[in-house]
A and B are shown apart, each in its own frame.
Chain A
Amino acid sequence: MKTTKNVLSLVLILVLSILPIFAAGTQEAGKTGVTLKLEQFSGSDATLSGKALRGMIAEFEKQNPTIKVALQTIGYDDYFTQLQSKVVGGNAADVFELNYENFVAYASEGALANITSLLGDTSGFNDTAFKAFNYQGVQYGVPNSFSNVVLFYNKALFDQAGIAYPTETWTWKDIEVASKKIMNLGKNIWGFYRPFSFHEFYKGAAQNGGSLMSADRKTFTVNTAENIEAASMMVGWQKDSKIMPTDADMAGMGDWDLFKSGRLGMIVTGIWAFADFSANCPFEWDITIEPGNVKKATHFFSNSYVVSATSKYPAESAKLAAFLAGSKEATKLRVEASWELPPVTYPEIIESYLSITPPQNREAVFASLDYLVTPPVSIQQAEMTAIIQSYLDQILSGKQSAKVALDACQKELEAKISL
């Protein structure tokens, strides 16, 4: 009898000690206002963007005294792993950031709130960027920034080699010719850099008249003749014409560092390099629209703020998302911090963006928008990207020809990725 009592009291103690765990979730928010959780990756304290973001939040709180914002920043590498477990656990922040590539996966799983009617006036947004976050006719997010990729060039090296600067009319052929002349300047000086990655390849394919998916996004078209030719030519920059350094040549040095060291003539990279290059290049540089082979094609990257489907305050959350993404106050801070490109059409914001130099030719950023290609997108985005990248690596390492690899890639994608 005594032991039974002991057992009972022990169980009681255990139950009592566990209870507070469940209690934490039931606390009511204060009646005076709400606190919204905001999680994001693109603004970091290592650059000016983190400060700009805190400035935007302060401005929002000033205009909406009843709403407080709790900001949480997570590095890009861990962001999506953490986000997924939070969404599954029902603990997603009220407002969180998604990039264009991952947007469809979250929208299709019902993790996002429909904010179509909660956004107010959206006429100030850039149309392409705004529509990118519409899934099956429903607006699930607002673009907070977009960015693209341009051709950066080292003016000093072009001057030394005595050749004219790249222009909008350049093609891959011109890149090769100029690179060879630049490389004649000395050992360890390289002409061109453009990594053979998933992102560069789908754009390269488009620049050669191809594409990785059919226009209706129902089938893969990875192994077309145009794509195979594009892959061979892109790998050729390292293997045949040797205008681009290999990993071994780079010996652990990053591509941006190579450009900043003044030993690289041209690099294809994102406009998010502006701040770094402005501060750290001891020579003059400028940009132009990226050359294509048979036609031009440029990247479109965009991040958005979305509202969690489990948020208790969808209206307030949508208000916050719209403010941070598209208000004049917020976009002004964004431009001042050189934090990518605000997705808005306000003339004064665009004007102030263009007035910052270097680069002199900032118009090229906007001119590039005329040639946008969007990436192939699937619900299994990360897996699809990894599969394509693994075959690009096979081509780059010389283990398989472009044709063999892309044929195999097409087959694997058809077997594993549902479109």
Chain B
Amino acid sequence: MSIQGRRGLRVALPFLLPSLLGAALFAILPIIISLLLSITSWTGMSKVKITDGFLRFVAEHSVGWDNFAAILSDQEFWRALSHNLYFIVLYLPLMLLFSLTCALIINAPKRGTGIYRVVYYLPVLTSWVAGSLIWKWLLSPVYGPINNFLSFFGIEGPLWLQSEVWAMPSIVIASIWKDMGFYAMVILGGLKSINIEYYEAARIDGASPLQMFQRITLPLLSSVLFYVTMLSMINAFQLFPQVMVMTKEGNAGPNGATMVMVERIYKYAFRYGKMGYAAAYSWILFVIIMAFTYIQKRGEKRWVNYDV
């Protein structure tokens, strides 16, 4: 380290200390602890003190890699993972489509776009619990407005959250409603950064709006779209509150249709008294998310254009 660097650090440290302390206490330490707990049979009920003989506790209750082996050899894990992937397959493309459309509507220089911005962003500010309860009511098979609306056209709506087939799509619909506004704002930022002169030049050359969108907007938006895809995928793997509130909590949805990974982690940790097992489950989820992010990052160069 250079003299200046070391000096800089000495000046910066007092300012960084509060955040560093917080990160160490509330993020880094728990991460290390959860890794150690993942090889134990801790039930979550007996008392463990980090300050007093924690490592001895880990050694005494160690089950080696048994937790990891048990999770990976259990059909239930693969079922939960497949439900996560199914959610992502439905959610990601629809979410991109809707948030991009939203962003384009807001970006158009028309009157009242301010109102649109607020309307689209409101769900983001709503808490998931409140939002889920509203969707539960909207999707109620008999009293719900959605099925009432459908019956107006002679369509008998599905049982939605009570149906094994429709439970996950229902969760997807609610999730898009909730997240659309946030990603639309991110995309809007990307749209605003595109130089207007490109469009003016294209217009002079006689390009149609569709051509301009395909040839200018999309390529120049690719970095933002990449960021949105990656972020929403990571979030999608952590799907949880909407599932807990909207589908029958005790059985993870009708016949386990909405059993997903974080839901399992929660159940094992706080309902089934298997804290060590749940910690191992979290680390497996972490590795999966890492792997998917890495694959995406590898593909980045191929389709992302950074020459704005």
Which residues of A line the B interface, CB within 8 A? 3, 6-7, 10-11, 14, 77, 80-81, 84-85, 87-88, 90, 105-106, 109-111, 247-248, 251-253, 379-380, 382-383, 386, 389-390, 393-394, 397, 399
Contact = CB atoms under 8 A, between A and B. Distances in A.
Nearest to B13: A7
Pairs A-B, 7 closest by C-beta atoms = A383-B272, A251-B142, A109-B45, A382-B271, A81-B270, A10-B14, A393-B255
B14 A6 contact: yes
Given A14-B18, A252-B142, A386 B267 contact: yes
A3 B21 contact: no
- Most central of B21, B46, B250 by chain A CB within 10 Å: B250
A252 to B, nearest CB: 5
Contacts of A399: 255
Interface residues of A, dominant DSSP: helix
Contact of B273 (A3, A84, A110, A251): A84
B170 interface: no
B47 A90 contact: yes
A393 B273 contact: no
Given A382-B273, A383-B268, 13 more contacts: A14-B17, A14-B21, A85-B270, A90-B47, A105-B45, A248-B159, A252-B140, A252-B143, A380-B274, A386-B250, A389-B250, A393-B251, A399-B255
A99 to B, nearest CB: 14
A379 B43 CA distance: 10
Contacts of A248: 159
B169 interface: no
Nearest to A77: B249
16 contacts: A3-B10, A3-B14, A77-B249, A80-B271, A84-B273, A87-B45, A88-B47, A379-B273, A383-B271, A383-B273, A383-B274, A386-B251, A386-B267, A389-B250, A390-B255, A397-B254
Contact of A84 (B10, B45, B249): B45
Contacts of B251: 386, 389-390, 393
B258 interface: no
A251 B164 contact: no
Q: Which of A253, A379, A393 has the most CB of B within 10 A?
A: A393
B140 A11 contact: no
Nearest to B48: A88
A386 B268 CA distance: 11
B76 to A, nearest CB: 9
B142 A380 contact: no
Interface of B: 10-11, 13-14, 17-18, 21, 43-48, 140-143, 159, 162, 164, 249-251, 254-256, 267-268, 270-274
B57 to A, nearest CB: 13
Contact of A247 (B21, B48, B162, B250): B162
Nearest to B15: A10
Given A84-B44, A386-B251, A393-B256, A380 B14 contact: no
A383 B14 CA distance: 49
A369 to B, nearest CB: 28
Contacts of B10: 3
A248 B163 CA distance: 10
A313 B254 CA distance: 46
Contact of A394 (B140, B250, B255, B272): B255
A247 B254 CA distance: 11
Contacts of B46: 88, 109-110
Contacts of A87: 45
Nearest to B273: A105
A386 B140 contact: no
A80 to B, nearest CB: 7
Contacts of B268: 383
A126 to B, nearest CB: 29
B26 to A, nearest CB: 13
Contact of A397 (B17, B45, B255): B255
Given A7-B14, A251-B141, A251-B142, A382 B256 contact: no
Contacts of B267: 386
Contacts of A88: 44-48
A145 B235 CA distance: 45
Contacts of A380: 272-274
A101 to B, nearest CB: 12
A259 B45 CA distance: 41
Nearest to B21: A14
Contacts of A247: 159, 162
A81 B159 CA distance: 30
A389 B249 CA distance: 13
B162 A106 contact: no
Nearest to B18: A14
Contacts of B18: 14
A390 B252 CA distance: 9
A111 B46 CA distance: 7
Contacts of B255: 390, 393-394, 397, 399
Nearest to B249: A77
Given A6-B14, A90-B47, A390 B256 contact: yes
Contacts of A111: 45
A74 to B, nearest CB: 14
A376 B249 CA distance: 22
A251 B164 CA distance: 15
| Most chain B CB neighbours (cut-off 10 Å) among A389, A390, A397 | A390
